[in-house]
Amino acid sequence: MDLSHRLQGRTIVVTGAGSGIGRGTALRLAREGAYVAALDVVPDGLEGLADEVGPTRSGGQVVTGPVDISSEESVKAAIASVTDARGGLDAVVNAAAVHYGDHTHEMSLERWNRLLSINLTGTFLMTRETIPALLESQHGGVIVNFSSTSAYFAHPYMAAYSATKGAIMSFTHAIALEYADRGLRAVSVVPGGIETAITGSTPANLPADVDWDKFAKLMPVLGRGKFGTPDSIAGVVAMLVSDDGAYITGTEIRVDGGTHM
């Protein structure tokens, strides 16, 4: 099936586009014809992204820019820049996040607040600032937020991270119902077992005395236990922001290779 024109003419914002799932998603959406505003707080991660898309038959492209999703001023400036340049917006993909774990009784308030300010407040700020433009989309606006399998199932040492991801899921449900009668859709994608910079750094971000036996149930079963790639998620996001996802809202799609059957 030729999907190279599925998103032609659509403007989509992707946060966390400098690495991992965000980067893979930005590339996939552009290759399907979208104009993608790829945003990240780390400019170095965005280098070469536009060139990596390569020539597309549908005219898709990537432009890059900075955003600190935990900063109201930064989010407002980033979204205004996109909507002013494009005259509107069709979808936002809130992929940016941070991840680390602690013994809950030893976790500092500073680390707790950092997780909330980026994962949860950042998702709120991006959603709030994009809704006015999304409501004007001729294609029907779409919000794709990223939760995690840790919102469903016990992931040890990650109580704070899990709390942010569970909150994102509830937030997305509420947004979906609030704006359904105005043609706006909102969906959560729930990754698990995906090989990214975040999962690669997980051992270093856990307590030194971590009990690895507690992670025994957190491995994929497909591909003989191998982690999936960002492309495993990007294709799902591309479907959701296209007309193929037009009847999907107020729910979540889990993509974890059967980790949590």
Residue 90 confidence class, pLDDT cut points 50, 70, 90: very high
Alpha carbons 205 and 198: distance in angstroms, whole number: 9
- 218 found inside a domain: yes
Alpha carbons 86 and 20: distance in angstroms, whole number: 26
Range in 86-90, 98-102, 167-171, 209-213 the model is least confident about: 209-213
- 6 found inside a domain: no
Average pLDDT taken over every residue of the chain: 90
- 162 found inside a domain: yes
Bridge partners of 255?
A: 191
Would the pTM of this model clear 0.85, i.e. be above it?
A: yes
Q: Which residue of the set 35, 152, 161, 179 is catalytic?
A: 161
- 133 found inside a domain: yes
- 260 found inside a domain: no
In the chain, which ranges are E strands? 11-15, 35-40, 61-66, 91-94, 142-146, 185-191, 251-255
- 2 found inside a domain: no
Whether residue 81 contacts residue 65, with contact meaning beta carbons closer than 8 Å, is answered with: yes
Sheet-wide strand order for 61-66:
61-66, 35-40, 11-15, 91-94, 142-146, 185-191, 251-255
> The domain spanning residue 222 has which CATH number?
3.40.50.720
Q: How many domains does the chain have?
A: 1
Range in 107-116, 172-181, 222-231 the model is least confident about: 222-231
161: annotated active-site residue: yes
pLDDT tens for residues 108-164? Answer: 999 999 999 999 999 999 999 999 999 999 999 999 999 999 898 878 888 999 999
Q: Give me the domain span that covers residue 173.
A: 11-255
Kindly report the backbone phi and psi dihedral angles of residue 67, in degrees, each rounded to the nearest multiple of 5, phi listed first.
-160, 135
Alpha carbons 243 and 185: distance in angstroms, whole number: 11
Q: What is the pLDDT of residue 35?
A: 96
- 202 found inside a domain: yes
Give percent above pLDDT 70 in the chain: 90
- Cα angle vertex 146, ends 170, 95, to 5°? 140
If you average pLDDT over residues 101-112, what whole number do you get?
93
- 153 found inside a domain: yes
